[in-house]
Amino acid sequence: MKKSRLVLPPLLLLVLLCCLLTLRIPNPELGTGRSEGIPAPARTGARPPSGGSCGNIQQVYPDNPFSGWPVDRFTGDWRSISSWFCDPAYFRGYTHWGLDFGARQAPASDGGWLTINEAGVYFTADRGVVIGEAHDGGEHWGMGNHVITLHVNCTERCGTEGEHEEEGQYIYMQEHNYPECYDPHNPIHPDLVLDCVTDWWRGSYFHFKVTTVEAGDLVERGDLLGYIDSTGRSTGPHLHYQINSPTAGAVDPAMTICSEYDPWLRSSWPWERTEMCPDY
C-alpha cells in the first residue's frame, strides 16, 4: 500500500502535463491592424466580439451607425424576438450580448408559430468592412457560421485604373470610368475610389446556414450577408444580432431596430405582443 501511494502522484502529474501540452487556447484577435487603424481581414472563424455591461440595457448611443431590422422575414414584428440583450432567461452562466430574431410566436388565430429558417440577413449600417467570416459549419465559440463587420466612414475621390492598396491605406475601387472622374483626354481612365477609416463600431451576425460575403469585402446598407440556420450552439434557427461600441462594449440593439421601442416588450411573452413596429 505504501508503494502505491508513492507511485500515484507522479502518474497524475504526468497525465496533467500531457493534457496541458495538448490544450489549444484560441486566439481572440481579429487581425494584425494597419497604420490607418483598419484591421486586416480576419482569418476565417475569428472569435466573435463579446463583453459589455447590462447597464447598457435600453441605453441610446447617438453615434451608433447601426440601425434597422436585419432580417427580411417578420420585419418589424416584435413576436419574433426570442431573447433580449442581457436576457435573465438566457442560458445559466452566460450573458446574452445581443438580440435574437427567431420564429414568430403568436396565438393560433393569428398564424401561430412560423419559422425564420433560411431568411435573408442584411447589413444594417451605411458602409462597413467584413473583418471576420466563417462558413464551414464549425462551432466557432458557439456562434457557428457568422459575419463580423466594422463600420467605416469613406471619402470619395478620383483614382487611377488598376490602383492598388498601399501601406496604410484601405481603399475600394467602386466603378470603372466613373462619369465625374472620366477625362477623355487622359489615356489612363480614372475610377471612383473610396478611402475608408473606421470609428470602431462593430456589427456581428451569428448562426448562418451560409454566408454570401468574405473577409475584406466592402458592404453597404441592405447588402445580403447570408441566410439564417442553426449552426453553432443553437437550440433552433435564429439570428443573433450584436452591436459593439468602441468604448462601452456590447450595447442593446433594441432601440436601434424600431423608433417606438417599449420597455414592456422585454417582460412580455412573444405571443402577447400585438404591437408592430410602425417603421416598416
Mean pLDDT value of segment 149-155 = 92
pTM of the full structure: 0.80
pLDDT digits (tens, 9 = 90+) for 72-116: 999 999 999 999 999 988 988 889 999 999 999 988 888 889 999
Instruction: Indicate the pLDDT class of residue 29, thresholds 50, 70 and 90.
Output: very low
Domain boundaries, the chain: 78-160+197-260
Q: What is the pLDDT of residue 10?
A: 60
CA atoms of 110 and 274, how far apart (whole Å): 10
The CA-atom distances, in angstroms, between 229 and each of 71, 80, 94, 101, 144 are: 12, 15, 21, 11, 9
CA atoms of 40 and 46, how far apart (whole Å): 12
Per residue, the 3-state secondary structure of the chain, as one string, reads CHHHHHHHHHHHHHHHHHHHHHCCCCCCCCCCCCCCCCCCCCCCCCCCCCCECHHHCCCCCCCCCCCCCCECCCCCEHHHEEECCCCCCCCCCCCCCCEEECCECCCHHHCCCECCCCCEEECCCCEEEEEEEECCCCCCCCCCEEEEEEEEEEEEEECCCCCCCCCCCCEEEEEECCCCCCCCCCCCCCEEEEEEEEEEEEEEEEEEEEECCCCCCEEECCCEEEEECCCCCCCCCCEEEEEEECCCEEECCHHHHCCCCCCHHHHCCHHHCCCECCCC
Q: What is the pLDDT of residue 109?
A: 81
First CA to last CA distance, the chain: 77
Cβ distance 151 to 198 under 8 Å?
Answer: yes
Is the pLDDT score of 197 beyond 70? yes
Is the pLDDT score of 170 beyond 70? no
Q: What is the pLDDT of residue 269?
A: 93
Is the pLDDT score of 17 beyond 60? no
Where is average pLDDT lowest: 49-53, 234-238, 260-264?
49-53
- Considering the chain, what is the average pLDDT of its residues? 81
Q: What is the pLDDT of residue 68?
A: 97
Is the pLDDT score of 22 beyond 90? no
pLDDT digits (tens, 9 = 90+) for 109-145: 888 899 999 999 999 999 999 999 999 999 998 999 9
Is the pLDDT score of 149 beyond 90? yes
Q: What is the pLDDT of residue 176?
A: 60
pLDDT digits (tens, 9 = 90+) for 96-108: 999 999 999 988 8
CA atoms of 4 and 25, how far apart (whole Å): 34
Which CATH architecture is the domain 78-160+197-260 placed in? Distorted Sandwich (2.70)
